[in-house]
């Protein structure tokens, strides 16, 4: 790749900002891949799972339901397992325990997403810093070039490439961050719905306290 006759390798040598953006890109790829694999691993058929749980509860086979939940090492089954293993507690306590489980699972699901969000927000500004540095470099080269405008090409190329690189890092990061956060919110909502349904199935609907 060449910009104004300057190769990408030359830009990497003279521009620390470009190197920073390249490191940001690599980090974003690693985090995005890790999260994608994690979400693929925790995905499951909620309908089939809850159908099996309801069948066990309808026949008072709590141990069977607990065992089935323990087999699925995923957010929803872990929350269900918490409720079933504490079924001897009060309705309010079970509801609190499930809420704590949901919050814990959400923290796990959102792990490292802040990295993508931060990169998406800061990469354009890092690219802008490279643009400013490139323009300053161009003016300095022009000052010592005896009026030859061709020497400023290095600075101009640095400015253009770092700007483009900043956007190249930021745009995918923002898109992936929003997509992943959407998944997490959907899973959290599903867990809230299931928790209410499960309390009803167990005959343990929390009683609202009077103000």
What are the tens digits of pLDDT across the range 122-144?
Answer: 999 999 998 998 888 888 877 77
User: Which parts of the chain have pLDDT scores under 50?
Assistant: 3-4, 204-211
For 72, the token pair is 């699925």
* Domain, as residue range, for 197: 2-201
User: Per the domain annotation, does 210 fall within a domain?
Assistant: no
User: Per the domain annotation, does 211 fall within a domain?
Assistant: no
User: Per the domain annotation, does 127 fall within a domain?
Assistant: yes
Q: How many domains does the chain have?
A: 1
User: Per the domain annotation, does 207 fall within a domain?
Assistant: no
User: Per the domain annotation, does 206 fall within a domain?
Assistant: no
Residue 122, exposed/middle/buried by CB under 10 A (0-12, 13-18, 19+)?
A: middle
pTM exceeds 0.85, yes or no: no
User: Per the domain annotation, does 93 fall within a domain?
Assistant: yes
């Amino acid at each position: 790749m060449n910009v104004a006759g300057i190769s990408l390798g030359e830009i990497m040598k003279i521009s620390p900002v470009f190197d920073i953006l390249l490191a940001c890109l690599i980090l974003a790829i690693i985090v995005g891949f890790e999260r994608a694999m994690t979400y693929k691993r925790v995905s499951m058929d909620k309908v089939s799972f809850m159908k099996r749980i309801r069948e066990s509860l309808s026949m008072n086979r709590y141990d069977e339901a607990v065992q089935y939940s323990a087999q699925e090492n995923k957010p929803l089954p872990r929350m269900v397992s918490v409720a079933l293993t504490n079924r001897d507690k009060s309705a309010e306590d079970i509801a609190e325990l499930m809420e704590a489980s949901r919050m814990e699972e959400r923290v796990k699901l959102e792990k490292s997403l802040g990295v993508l969000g931060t990169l998406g927000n800061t990469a354009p500004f890092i690219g802008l810093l490279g643009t400013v540095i490139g323009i300053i470099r161009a003016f300095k080269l022009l000052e010592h070039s005896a009026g030859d405008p061709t020497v400023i090409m290095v600075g101009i190329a640095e400015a253009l490439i770092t700007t483009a690189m900043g956007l190249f890092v930021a745009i995918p990061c923002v898109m992936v961050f929003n997509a992943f956060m959407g998944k997490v919110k959907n899973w959290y909502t599903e867990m809230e719905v299931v928790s209410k349904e499960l309390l009803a199935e167990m005959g343990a609907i929390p009683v609202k306290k009077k103000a």
